[in-house]
Every structure is written in C-alpha cells, then in structure tokens.
Amino acid sequence: MTMEMIDERTIKLERRLNNLDRIVLKFVKILEKHTDYVLISGYVAILLGRTRGTEDVDFFINKLSKEQFSSFYKDLLDNGFWAINADDVEELYSMLKDDRLAVRFAERGNVAPNMEVKFVKDALDELAMKEKIKVITEEGKLFISRIDLQIAYKKFVLASYKDLEDARHLQKLFDIKDETINKYKILFEQYGRI
C-alpha cells in the first residue's frame, strides 16, 4: 500500500482493493446520489491498511425526509441491496430517526458485510461530516472521518481491544501526537459518549 497526503483533506491511496472495498464503493455510489455521508469507525482503519475483518461498515448521513429516504431505499433495492432490519420503508425510517438505532443494508442474500447507517445527531457527528477527508482510490472516492477524531473515538469511547488496535494503527500511520487525540476526551464527556 502507498498513501500520499495531497493536502489536509485529501489522501491518494494505492493498494489492491478487495471485495469489501468494492461493496462499500458500490453502496457509496448509490448513497451519494441522495445525501452526504462520512465513513467512521473500523472500516477507516481497514481502508488505510489495517489487516482485520469486519462485519459492518459504519456511516453517518445527513438527515433525510421520509420521501428522500424512500427514494434512497428504492435505489438500493434496484441495485441489489436489501435492508436487514426490516423491509417496510416506514419502519426503517422510524429506526433512523431514533438516535440510538441504525439501519443495516447488505447485498441481497447476505447479512455481512453490511452498511450500518445512522443520521447525524449532534455536534460531534456534524464535526465528522463537516471535516471529512476524501480518499481517492483507483476505483472511486470515499469520504472518511478526520483521523484524529477517529482515533480518539476508538480510544476513549469504544475502547475494546480491536478498537484500541485500530487507534494505534492510525496514530502511528499518521504520526499524530497524544495531545492532539486527548483534546477530544472533553468533547466526548460533554456529549455523554464516555
């Protein structure tokens, strides 16, 4: 894998894409016709060279009206995806509006990997969306959360062994100092994430 920082908000990534990457890119091509998004959590570390498996790929998306969501859902169905949680658009939309729930989509006939989608709910999610980073691959572009925020979230909020390893990988790869990461701890406490 080779990676080049084009600027603060753009990474050019050269590596052989795998099946997971292709599914994410396929999903994103549909998603970005309907709303903005940002990839968060484990897939960010995987995309950037950490070797591990995952069953889900996490997304924040901007809030959609019921009509906009219905159009997005129809587009997914027409392109070989299905919703794991339910098949009724009203129920799926209701789940998305609940800040604690996510809707999961996968390629028809599969449950993993699945795309876990949540609406942006607070200023922290908005920060991830506003300051996202474009990753350019040979098969398309993806938008990921800023790296320091991602590391801090994995380190202070999720804090499982897997998440701590993801955080270490990203922190080493981007040579980010602990002081930069630690400033987010107060924000996570303020928003009740810790």
Residue 194: CB partners within 8 Å, gap ≥ 6? 156, 157, 185, 188
pLDDT in tens, 72-130: 999 999 999 999 999 999 999 999 999 889 999 999 999 999 999 999 999 999 999 99
* Average pLDDT across the chain, whole number: 96
DSSP reduced 3-state for 43? helix
Q: Are residues 54 and 10 in the same domain?
A: yes
Q: Are residues 37 and 120 in the same domain?
A: yes
pLDDT for 192 beyond 90:
no
Q: Are residues 122 and 173 in the same domain?
A: no
Q: pTM of the predicted model, to two decimals? A: 0.95
Buried b (16+ CB within 10 A) or exposed e, 41-56: bbbbbbbbebeeebeb
pLDDT in tens, 143-168: 999 999 999 999 999 999 999 999 99
Q: What pLDDT is stored for residue 100 in this prediction?
A: 87
Residue 53: CB partners within 8 Å, gap ≥ 6? none
Q: Are residues 170 and 182 in the same domain?
A: yes
CATH number assigned to the domain comprising residue 66: 3.30.460
Q: Are residues 28 and 62 in the same domain?
A: yes
Q: How far apart are CA 74 and CA 82, in angstroms?
A: 10
pLDDT for 65 beyond 90:
yes
CB-based contact 55:113 (threshold 8 Å): yes
Residue 99: CB partners within 8 Å, gap ≥ 6? 119, 121
Counted domains in the chain: 2
pLDDT in tens, 173-191: 999 999 999 999 999 999 8
Domain closes at, from 145, 163, 184: 145
Q: What pLDDT is stored for residue 191 in this prediction?
A: 86
DSSP reduced 3-state for 31? helix
Q: Mean pLDDT throughout 135-148? A: 97
Query: How confident is residue 50, by pLDDT bands cut at 50, 70 and 90?
Result: very high
